[in-house]
Structure 1
Amino acid sequence: MRNSEMQDKLNYLKTFDENDIQGKIKYLIDQNFHLLTLDPDITPQKLFYFISNLSSICHNTALCLAMHLYTVWGIRLFTSQNEFVTDCLDQVKEQKKLFASLNEPSLHFIHSKNFKEKDYSITATEEEDGYLINGIKRFVSMEPLVNYLPVYCRLKNYKGNDYGIITLIIPKETKGIKVNQDWDSISMGPSESNSITFEDVFVPKENVILNSNAFVRETDVLGLLFRLAISSVYVGIGERALQYLYQKIRSQRVPHHDKPLAFFPGAQFNVAEMLILNETANSQILELCRSINEYLNSSRSYTTMKELKKKSLITKEYTTISTIKLVEFALKTVGVGGLSSRSPLAKLYQDVLAGPFHPPQKDVLYEIIAKDFLGIVPYKSRW
């Protein structure tokens, strides 16, 4: 699909009600955008271009679809594939099914020998021909439309030397699954990111897509793709703020002057600050895209992944914080009217504040980056 054709289809989303995220996603599925990362020719830059452009039109829709897209791509990249995985991916193509995000296991500073089973949110009890799953999967973006729930599960009473975490795909209609309508965040409210409870959910062994010994080795790439997707969403929000401000200050009159706000130095300085933030965020993401693409198309190593992981963390932090600053400059430029509940900028600001809370959260992210620079091995002593 040519970029111009894609943009025309995305622009049609502007005809939808702003909060009709389900309707927008169904439209995008009908246009086969949910298949983007099943394309053998997909690249990180293509994913960035699509998500950021979608986000500049509707960031809630972009966030929800991005969770499906990065997860599908990550699962497709696993070196071990079984018949069940192949069937699930075929269902995405043939039955327009959607995946939830796999999320992050959040084990950044925990050695396997110090792992506490009681502190892990989802557990798997081994049965003769499968597993009983119990626990809660939180923050399932666009939960009402999701069909497949990929989850990390800690094996109960595990005695091995690794984390004892397996990766499963659970169809959402499986008996014992309960949806909790508990999403009430002030940011990204329309994303309907509800939690899901598993109560003795039986899952056959063929639903296991990664055993515990492959967990760390195979899932690092998912973290890279997740941070690329999140960064792309927030850069798109920045683009939308710039688009709005461009139109607003060219028409907003200044009392006792004949010229619009765009002619005044203060407004121009703020616009320049916004453009610098937007341009540098775009450049940082493109560099991450280049690095991920190089990693996927060459021999992989621990050292390469370590450096790439650091770069993806820096990119996520820089793009989310830069976008918050960008929207703040936009609010400062238009004045008090930007705080109106009807103002697009007020809504963007409310949602963009979620940026630092996407995993890993800001304090953990800073700690990872600093410890790496200082040569501190967190598994031996975190503090």
Structure 2
Amino acid sequence: MTRRPRTLLTDDLLAAVHARAAQHDRDNTFPHDDLADLVAAGYLRAFVPVGLGGAGLTLEEVAREQARLAAAAPATALAVNMHLVVTGLAAHLLAHGDDSVAFVLRDAAAGEVYAFGNSEAGNDLVMFGSRTRAVPQADGGYRYTGTKIFTSLSPVWTRLATFGLDDSDPGDPRLVHGVVSRGEGVHAKDDWDTLGMRATQSATTVLDGAYAPPGQVYRRLPPGPSADPFVFALFAVFEVLLAAVYTGIGRRALELGVEHAHRRTSMKHDGRPYAQDPDIRWKVADAALAQDGAELQVFALARDVDEDADHGARWFAQLVGLKVRATESARVVVDLALRVSGGGAYSSGSELARLYRDVLAGIYHPSDDESAHGTVATSVLGPPQG
């Protein structure tokens, strides 16, 4: 018998978040009230095991919640996604006998808010190289100096999971992953003013000797791809939850397209609703076909991660492929919803117009289209020669 997914997000909470989304987008402000509601619901402890004071949800369950939250307020969902990725990878590792990041789960249970400080301008190696310096300290800790971009939750995070390159031994450079606290050596800029996903407030973070104590330094890996379980946990949770957010955008866009098709009427067809027009029906069906496929694949792959399914050497191809398919499918669904909704949806104040701007952000998240195609090609054709 299949267990029904557990949920933390009530319909009332989602309605309140949805009601605030347009203003936060218009004013380019962080949704503090949304975060307060999510904290009160225990959502930032979703991945924290029950024994540590959390809800102990699975990746599939959180993915389903993120799709619901994104349908209500995409930017709020994407912002909290970063906290969930850090806690989710920690929960995955702990469940597999690795307690190196168990402190993250204890922090989250105590109310700390995590952000990701990994992305760097001009770094197309992403997780396999870094422009940030990680300088070892006498006590075993590290100090980080560099600039991180797209730091979601910028106004509110209290802990930053980050990494940098320790090149103190030229013969054995290491990418050092650790957690720094907000405070000395950390400066969050006020530079987030974007086309979409505005309420994420993913501002630039400047690290100037930011300190990670030895107990919060959890990996020292050689540059380049790695078989370390941490890398798999990071990719798996990040790509699945990111795909869930954009799938939630598609879900809401389809709902709006259907509503508009029933509401709009045609003078050419004696006042009948456009929902009866065969061309409109075809477009709505196309959107539903794309949306159904996206939802099924997101939740199925999340379940595979939870159940340790054996995808062998194709695991990373499956994960990056999921991200590309989900974000591209969401763009298709939003576009079709606009096409069936009439010129009113082109107004800057319409929800569909906001979804159109928000969904475009999907092309910028790792793994990007080029990287994903390279990974998938290698998984089926072997590595390129020469």
TM-score range, shorter chain: 0.7 to 0.9
Query: 1:131 corresponds to which letter in structure 2?
Result: Y
> Which residue, out of 215, 226, 231, partners 2:238?
226
Residue 289 and residue 87 in structure 1: after superposition, are their counterparts in 2 closer, same or farther (change >3 A)? Answer: closer
Residue 160 and residue 292 in structure 1: after superposition, are their counterparts in 2 closer, same or farther (change >3 A)? Answer: farther
Name 1:16's counterpart in structure 2.
Answer: 20
Name 2:153's counterpart in structure 1.
Answer: 142
**1:275 is the counterpart of 2:279:** no
Distance in 2, Cα, partners of 1:53 & 1:17: 14
Distance in 2, Cα, partners of 1:102 & 1:109: 11
Distance in 2, Cα, partners of 1:88 & 1:375: 37
Residue 114 of structure 2: SS of its match in structure 1? coil
- CA drift at 1:371: 2.3
> Which residue, out of 310, 335, 340, partners 1:333?
340
Query: 2:109 corresponds to which letter in structure 1?
Result: K
**Correspondence 1:279-318 to 2 at 5 A:** 279-295=292-308, 304=312, 306-318=313-325
Question: What are structure 1's unaligned runs of at least 5 residues?
Answer: none
Note the alpha carbon deviations across 1:105-156, whole angstroms, 9 max, x for none: 964897xxxx7xxxx2211112212322100121111211111101112103
- CA drift at 1:63: 0.7
CA contact (8 A) 1:131 1:204 kept: yes
**1:25 is the counterpart of 2:32:** no
Residue 283 of structure 1: SS of its match in structure 2? helix
**1:6 is the counterpart of 2:47:** no
Note the alpha carbon deviations across 1:78-107, whole angstroms, 9 max, x for none: 35435xx5554333223x221113647964
Note the alpha carbon deviations across 1:314-341, whole angstroms, 9 max, x for none: 1111111111011111111123322211
Query: 1:353 corresponds to which letter in structure 2?
Result: L
Name 1:193's counterpart in structure 2.
Answer: 202
**Correspondence 1:1-383 to 2 at 5 A:** 3=7, 6-16=10-20, 18=22, 19=24, 21-39=31-49, 41-78=56-93, 79-81=97-99, 85-94=101-110, 96-101=111-116, 103=118, 107=125, 120-129=130-139, 130-161=141-172, 164-173=174-183, 175-212=184-221, 216-217=227-228, 218-256=230-268, 257-295=270-308, 304=312, 306-376=313-383
- CA drift at 1:167: 0.9
Question: Percent identical across equivalent pairs?
Answer: 22
Note the alpha carbon deviations across 1:35-84, whole angstroms, 9 max, x for none: 111135422220111000111111111111111112112123335435xx
Aligned length, in residue pairs:
360
Distance in 1, Cα, partners of 2:21 & 2:211: 39
Distance in 2, Cα, partners of 1:144 & 1:136: 17
CA contact (8 A) 2:143 2:211 kept: yes
Distance in 2, Cα, partners of 1:253 & 1:60: 32
- CA drift at 1:365: 1.2
Name 2:27's counterpart in structure 1.
Answer: none
Distance in 1, Cα, partners of 2:12 & 2:68: 11
* RMSD, aligned CA: 2.6
Query: 1:282 corresponds to which letter in structure 2?
Result: E
Note the alpha carbon deviations across 1:205-257, whole angstroms, 9 max, x for none: 22212233697502221111100011000110011111112222211122352
Note the alpha carbon deviations across 1:275-296, whole angstroms, 9 max, x for none: 100001111112212321222x
Residue 2 and residue 199 in structure 1: after superposition, are their counterparts in 2 closer, same or farther (change >3 A)? Answer: closer
Query: 2:285 corresponds to which letter in structure 1?
Result: A
Distance in 1, Cα, partners of 2:20 & 2:138: 50
Residue 73 of structure 1: SS of its match in structure 2? helix
Residue 364 and residue 86 in structure 1: after superposition, are their counterparts in 2 closer, same or farther (change >3 A)? Answer: closer
TM-score (norm 2): 0.85
CA contact (8 A) 2:48 2:108 kept: no
Residue 99 of structure 2: SS of its match in structure 1? coil
- CA drift at 1:178: 0.9
Residue 103 and residue 177 in structure 1: after superposition, are their counterparts in 2 closer, same or farther (change >3 A)? Answer: closer
CA contact (8 A) 1:133 1:201 kept: yes
Distance in 2, Cα, partners of 1:124 & 1:89: 24
Distance in 2, Cα, partners of 1:17 & 1:42: 26
TM-score (norm 1): 0.86
CA contact (8 A) 1:56 1:240 kept: yes
Distance in 2, Cα, partners of 1:345 & 1:145: 28
Question: What are structure 2's unaligned runs of at least 5 residues?
Answer: 25-29, 51-55
